[in-house]
Amino acid sequence: MAKQKKIAVTGASGLIGSALCAQLKSDGHQVIKVVRRAARVADEVSWNPLKGEIDLAGLEGADAVFHLAGAGVGDKRWSAAYRSEILNSRLLSTTTIANACEQIQPEVFISASAIGYYGETGDRSVTETDRGGEDFLSIVCREWELVANQAPSVRTVKLRTGLVLDPTGGALGRMLPIFKFGLGGKLGSGKQWWSWITLHDQIRAMIFLMNSKIEGPVNITSPNPVTNQQFTAALARALKRPAFFPAPAFALRAALGGFSTEILGSKKVMPKVLLDNDFEFDYPHLLAALTELVD
């Protein structure tokens, strides 16, 4: 039987964090949730990332630390103030938890990032060794990953996560009601590449990385990215609904503001590190994944 580990998780209440905590507990590990209030139960540790404060005593003995906290990029329109919040929430929280890791010395520090790192890639496939882009989210991801390096004596993994698919939240959760009514369709031209992964495989990949010797950036995406037009057609097929109602780019820009660049932009990202290390996806193909998720 595998050794039981003590594992700390920030952002534990989010879509990925809650699923990760549930799986880790199911696997027999002790999970410590790092929360932004006073700890109420034994499995919580308090922190204030804006002030750089964290209960180090509560983290002592942690074998692994997952850092998933940060303001949601799709939660609000990108005003100047919210752009600052997106960036600062990541820099301050990552600095706080990385400094803590340097002191408590876990076996591994796994810090969130995103495929936004690459910026616009068009039809060009990119892997972990490709350079980053120059748009707002590219800069956020680059700065975010840089501050994760503040635990230099700890093996550090940076999760460049793609579009995470689960019916309970994220992009798929928002799209499902529209498509169930037969009102879905491609977004913009539909030619932009979407790099996706099921929440199920996302969690499997994160635990795989925890138990590996891998370090540095890792793309957390399916090996089979699709265009938006292919994505929306597959979702409609999985739901047995039509997809005749495209959303024009100008309407998305009006509705979503700056975040529309993520919906309309193209990112064709390949998970080279995972594939090179023989990680096997349970859902490598989109239609099978969506059929399972919306059944």
**pLDDT tens per residue, the chain (295 residues)?**
568 999 999 999 999 999 999 999 999 999 999 999 999 999 999 999 989 999 999 999 999 999 999 877 777 777 888 889 989 989 999 999 999 999 999 999 999 999 999 999 999 999 999 999 999 999 999 999 999 999 999 999 999 999 999 999 888 888 898 889 888 888 888 999 999 999 999 999 999 999 999 999 999 999 999 999 999 999 999 999 988 888 776 665 665 566 666 678 899 999 999 999 999 999 999 999 999 999 8
Q: Which of 213, 205, 97 lies closest to 149 in space, CA to CA?
A: 97
What's the pTM value of the predicted model, to 2 decimals? 0.94
Q: Report residue 268 as tokens.
A: 């064709």
Give the pLDDT of residue 183.
Answer: 84
Q: Which of 189, 241, 221 lies closest to 285 in space, CA to CA?
A: 221
**DSSP for 52-77, written as a single string:** TEE-HHHHTT-SEEEE-----TTSS-
Structure-token match 């495989």, residue found: 201
Give the pLDDT of residue 260.
Answer: 61
| Run of H or E residues at 217 | strand 216-220
Q: Which of 206, 116, 199 lies closest to 164 in space, CA to CA?
A: 199
**Amino acid identity, position 19:** A
Q: Is 34 helix (H, G, I), strand (E, B) or coil?
A: strand
Q: Give dist(CA 65, CA 3) in Å, integer.
A: 16
Q: Is 271 helix (H, G, I), strand (E, B) or coil?
A: coil
Asked if residue 154 lies in contact with residue 106, where contact means CB atoms within 8 angstroms, the answer is: yes
Q: Give dist(CA 263, CA 162) in Å, integer.
A: 12
Q: Report residue 18 as tokens.
A: 């809650």
